[in-house]
Amino acid sequence: MTPELQARIDGLIKNNKILVFMKGSKLMPMCGFSNNVVQILNSLGVPFETVDVLDDYEIRQGIKEYSNWPTIPQVYINGEFIGGSDIMIELYQKGELQQMVEVALAS
């Protein structure tokens, strides 16, 4: 990964409390897994931003290397990599995700 790409991804993550690297946008998810994440965050009623990896091949490949996670979507909360769709579903069902986002938004 180039230092420029690393800095770009760092900036995106640092400047957004809740950020989802996904296929499509929060208004129009382009895959079921991305849609799952959007639906979960919408149900929590929290503000979040998305980065459409389909629009940016460099980010699409770079984020996998950055997080050492092979799949999209990828969720970051308060600068920390949380995981993908399955992990988000699990955290949501356990009630842990609500607490994570509340802490992030309060900080």
For residue 62, name the pLDDT band (cuts at 50, 70, 90). Answer: very high
pTM equals 0.95
- According to DSSP, the residues that pair with 77 across neighbouring strands are 18, 80
pLDDT band at 69, cuts 50/70/90? very high
Spell 47-83 as b/e; 16+ CB within 10 A means b. ebebbbbeeeeebbebbbebbebeebbbbbbbeebbb
Q: What is the pLDDT of residue 56?
A: 94
pLDDT tens digits for 73-106?
999 999 999 999 999 999 999 999 999 999 999 9
Residues 3-32 pLDDT 10s: 999 999 999 999 999 999 999 999 999 999
β-strand partners of 29: 24
Structurally, the chain folds into a number of domains equal to 1
> Rounded CA gap, 35 and 44, in Å?
14
Task: Residue 7: give its domain's CATH number.
Answer: 3.40.30.10
Q: Is beta strand 49-52 parallel, antiparallel or unpaired with respect to 18-22?
A: parallel
